[in-house]
Amino acid sequence: MSILVYTENWDGKFKKLSFELVSYATGIAEMLNTTVTAVSIGKVDENELRKLGNFGANKIISINNDQLIALDSQSYTSVISEITQKEGAEVIIISNNNTGKALAPRLSVRLKAGIGSGVSRLPLNLNPFTVYKKVFSGNGYAHVVLKSDVKIITLAQNSFDLVETLNNTVIENVELTIDGSSLKTAVKDVQKQTGKILLTDAEIVVSGGRGMKSPDNWGPIEELAGLLGAATACSRPVSDEGWRPIGEHTGQTGKVIAPNLYIAVGISGAIQHLAGISGSKCIVAINTDKDAPIFEAADYGIVGDAFKVLPKLIEAVKEMKS
Amino acid sequence: MKILVCISNVPDTTTKIKFAEGNTLIDTTGIQWVINPWDELSLTRALELKDDAASGIKSVTVLHVGTATSEPTIRKALAIGADDAIRVNAESSDSWFVAFQIAEVVKKEQFDIIMCGIESSDYNGSVVGGMISEFLGIPSVSAVSGIRIENGQPVMTREIDGGKEVVTVPVPFVAIVQKGIAKEPRIAAMRGIMMARSKPVKLVEPVAVEPLTEIVVFEKPTPRAACKYIDADNPAQLIDLLQNEAKVI
Ligand SMILES: Cc1cc2nc3c(=O)[nH]c(=O)nc-3n(C[C@H](O)[C@H](O)[C@H](O)COP(=O)(O)OP(=O)(O)OC[C@H]3O[C@@H](n4cnc5c(N)ncnc54)[C@H](O)[C@@H]3O)c2cc1C
C-alpha cells in the first residue's frame, strides 16, 4: 500500500504545483501511515527529481520515453495504472489542471476508482474515506465519500501549502516499451507562450474589467503587474470583446485561479466572475461604484476612479520597492 | 459523420444555492434550470459544423441522463437546432453512473464525435467526458478550445499549460471542450421552438450500476470578513496593509 502522486513536468522542470501535490500526498501518507511514490513521465534529470524528495516522496519512478512526449491520454493512463497496480497504491493524487482533468477520469474507469475532484483539503475522514470539494463553482462545498478500494483525488491548484519533509528518496528509472500503434494523438503544431507568468501559476494577479473602458487603457494594469511580478487577467466581456486574449478570462467559464493576491480593477463582481477568483487568499477591489458586489468579496477596497487610483498605486509600489 | 453532444441540466449560474434537509440536499425551490454553459457552447459549435456542408457532419444529437423534470432543457437544445435527443431516464447519482449510461448508449448507436463540456457547473467534476472515452476504449482530447473539419478529419486545438497544441485523433473520439470552442451560445429562434415540439426524444432505461461516490453533506462557504476601505487619495496605505497585514506582497 502507498500513495501515488503524478508529478507533471514542463520542459524537464517541476513547478510549485508539483511540490504542492507531493506535500499533499505526504499529508495523506501520514494519516494512513504509509509512503509516497511519485511518478514522473518525461525527461527530467536526477537533480530535479530529487526535489520531490524535499516534500516527502519516498520513491520516485521516472519514465523517460520519447514516445510519451505529447500527452496521449490513453497511453499515459496505461502507464500510470500499471504502476498503481504494481505499487499496490491505494490513493492516487493528481492535479486538477488540464492534464489532471484528462487523465484522472480515465484512470478512474481503468482502476474502478472513485474520484474526488477539485479537492482543497486533506481527507476529512479515513473511514469512510471522505474528501472536501468545491461544488456550484464555489457557492458551496461537499463532503464526498469515495467508496471504492482505490481512490483518486484531483487537487485544486494553490489550495495546499508546501510542507518540507526531508526523506531518503530512491529514484527508480523504468524502461518501457510502448507499442507505437497504441498512441492515438498526433500533434500537428505547438504554440508556446514564453516569457510571461502563467495566470494559473501566478501568486499575484492584476485583473481589469469593462470599467477600463478600452483596450488602449491597459497600460497601468500591465505596469502594476510588472512591478508586482504579477500575471494579468480580465473579466469575460473584456475577452469576448477581444480587448484581451481569451487566456486571461477568469471566472466560471474561464480560468479558475487561487492566487495569494487578486486585484480587481473596474470589475463589478458578478457571481460568475467570483466563481473563478473566490479561492484567492486576498482580494482587492478598485471600483467607482461603492455598491458594486465585488466589495462583498473583497478584503480591501478603494472606491474611486481607476484612472486616478492606479497611477498613485503604481507610485506607492515604486516607493515600497526603493 | 454524426455528432453527439452530452448535456447536463444545471441551475442558472446566477442562482444563490441553498441547501435543505440538514444540508444533505439542494433546495430546488425557485431554481431556474439551464443547459450547462459549456454544453451549450459545444452544441453551438456542433451546429456550426453541420451548417457547413463541406464538413460532412450529417446530424447532431443531444443526450441527457436525467428524469422527466429535465425535459425543458432537452427541448431547448432541440429548439437551438439539435436534430434529435436521447434521454436516459434516471436520477444521476454520480459522474461514474452518468458516464456509464452514456457509454452504454454510444455502444448501441454509432457516433463519430462525442462532445462533453469540461465541467458541469453544479458538481464541478470535470470527469464525465474522460470516463465515457475510457468505458468505450476510444481516444479523448481534453481542454479543446477549437474544432474544425479538414478533409473529413476533425482537427482540434487544445490548451496546454502556457500554450496550445493542434492535434488529431482517429474517430470515434470524445472531445472535452472549454472556453473558445464557440463565441456566443446560439439562441433558439421562434421557428426552432416550433420545430422542437415535433423532434424525436428517445427514452432509454438505465443500466444498473453502483455509483462509486456519495455526497454526504454540503456546506456553505465561510463568509469573508468585511471589506476594509482605503481612501482613494491614499493608495500607499493599501500597499502598507498588503505588505504588513495581509502579507501578500
Ligand atoms: C453563463 C454565464 C457565464 C459567465 N461567465 C463569466 C466568467 O467566467 N467570467 C466573467 O467575468 N463573467 C462571466 N459572465 C458575465 C458576468 O455575468 C458579468 O457580465 C461580467 O463579469 C461583467 O464584467 P465586468 O465586471 O468587467 O463588467 P461590468 O459588469 O460592466 O462592470 C464594470 C465595472 O466597472 C466599474 N467602473 C466603471 N468605470 C470605472 C472607473 N473609471 N474606475 C473604476 N471602476 C469603474 C463599474 O462601476 C462596474 O462595477 C458570465 C455570464 C453568464 C450568463
pLDDT of residue A194: 77
User: What confidence category does residue B205 fall into, taking pLDDT thresholds of 50, 70 and 90?
Assistant: very high
Please name the CATH architecture into which domain B2-223 falls.
Answer: 3-Layer(aba) Sandwich (3.40)
Upper half-sphere CA count for residue A145 (Cβ side, 13 Å): 9
Q: Find out whether B155 and B147 touch, Cβ atoms under 8 Å.
A: yes
Q: What is the pLDDT of residues B122-150, one digit of tens each?
A: 999 999 999 999 999 999 999 999 999 99
Nearest Cβ partner for B134 among A105, A252, A253: A105
Which letter does DSSP use for residue A81 in this model? Answer: H
pLDDT of residue A168: 85
User: What confidence category does residue A193 fall into, taking pLDDT thresholds of 50, 70 and 90?
Assistant: confident
Q: What is the pLDDT of residues B175-203, one digit of tens each?
A: 999 999 999 999 999 999 999 999 999 99
Q: Chain B contact for A227, CB < 8 A?
A: no
Is the distance from the beta carbon of residue A240 to the nearest atom of ligand 1 less than 6 Å? no
Residue of B134, B174, B210 to mutate for A, most A C-beta atoms under 10 A: B134
Q: Of the candidates B122, B70, B66, B94, which has an alpha carbon nearest to the alpha carbon of residue B209?
A: B94
Nearest Cβ partner for A320 among B165, B180, B239: B239
Q: Is the dihedral of CA B195, B197, B198, B199 positive or negative?
A: positive
Q: Of the candidates B63, B72, B80, B66, which has an alpha carbon nearest to the alpha carbon of residue B174?
A: B63
Q: What is the pLDDT of residues B24-50, one digit of tens each?
A: 999 999 999 999 999 999 999 999 999
Nearest Cβ partner for A297 among B133, B140, B224: B224
Which letter does DSSP use for residue A147 in this model? Answer: -
pLDDT of residue A41: 97
Q: What is the mean pLDDT of residues B49-64?
A: 97
Nearest atom of ligand 1 to the alpha carbon of A252: 8
Q: What is the mean pLDDT of residues A23-34?
A: 97
Distance between CA atoms of residues A61 and A71, nearest Å: 18
pLDDT of residue A112: 98
Taking CA atoms only, the protein residue closest to ligand 1 atom 50 is A272
Structural domain boundaries of chain B? 2-223
Nearest atom of ligand 1 to the alpha carbon of A254: 8
pLDDT of residue B207: 97
Taking CA atoms only, the protein residue closest to ligand 1 atom 30 is A210
A195 pLDDT above the threshold of 90: no
Structural domain boundaries of chain A? 2-182, 204-321
Measured in angstroms, the CA of A167 and the nearest CA of chain B are apart by: 29
pLDDT of residue A286: 98
Q: What is the pLDDT of residues A236-275, one digit of tens each?
A: 999 999 999 989 999 999 999 999 999 999 999 999 999 9
B233 pLDDT above the threshold of 90: yes
Q: What is the mean pLDDT of residues A112-122?
A: 97
CATH superfamily of A204-321: TPP-binding domain (3.40.50.1220)
- Interface touch B221/A260, C-beta < 8 Å: no
User: What confidence category does residue A285 fall into, taking pLDDT thresholds of 50, 70 and 90?
Assistant: very high
Least confident range from A163-172, B56-65, B195-204: namely A163-172
Name the burial class of residue B54, with classes exposed (0-12), middle (13-18) and buried (19+) by CB atoms within 10 angstroms of its CB. exposed
A180 pLDDT above the threshold of 90: no
pLDDT of residue A16: 95
The ipTM, to two decimals, is 0.96
Q: Chain B contact for A117, CB < 8 A?
A: yes
DSSP letters for A184-248: --EEEEEEE--SS--TTT-SEEEEE-GGG-SGGG-HHHHHHHHHHT-EEEE-HHHHHTTSS-GGG
Q: Of the candidates A69, A95, A82, A84, which has an alpha carbon nearest to the alpha carbon of residue A183?
A: A69
Is the distance from the beta carbon of residue B198 to the nearest atom of ligand 1 less than 6 Å? no
Is the distance from the beta carbon of residue A301 to the nearest atom of ligand 1 less than 6 Å? no
Q: Chain B contact for A145, CB < 8 A?
A: yes
**Global pTM exceeds 0.90:** yes
Mean pLDDT of the residues in chain B:
96
Q: What is the pLDDT of residues A136-166, one digit of tens each?
A: 999 999 999 999 999 999 999 999 999 999 8
Mean pLDDT of the residues in chain A:
96
Q: What is the mean pLDDT of residues A123-144?
A: 96
- Interface touch B124/A135, C-beta < 8 Å: yes
Burial call B184-216: b when 16+ CB within 10 Å, e when fewer? ebbebeeebeeebeebeeeebebeeeebbbbbe
A319 pLDDT above the threshold of 90: yes
pLDDT of residue A89: 98
CB count in 10 Å sphere of residue A43 = 16
Nearest Cβ partner for B124 among A99, A137, A285: A137
pLDDT of residue A166: 85
Q: What is the pLDDT of residues A58-76, one digit of tens each?
A: 999 999 998 998 999 999 9
Q: Which fold has domain A2-182?
A: Rossmann fold (3.40.50)
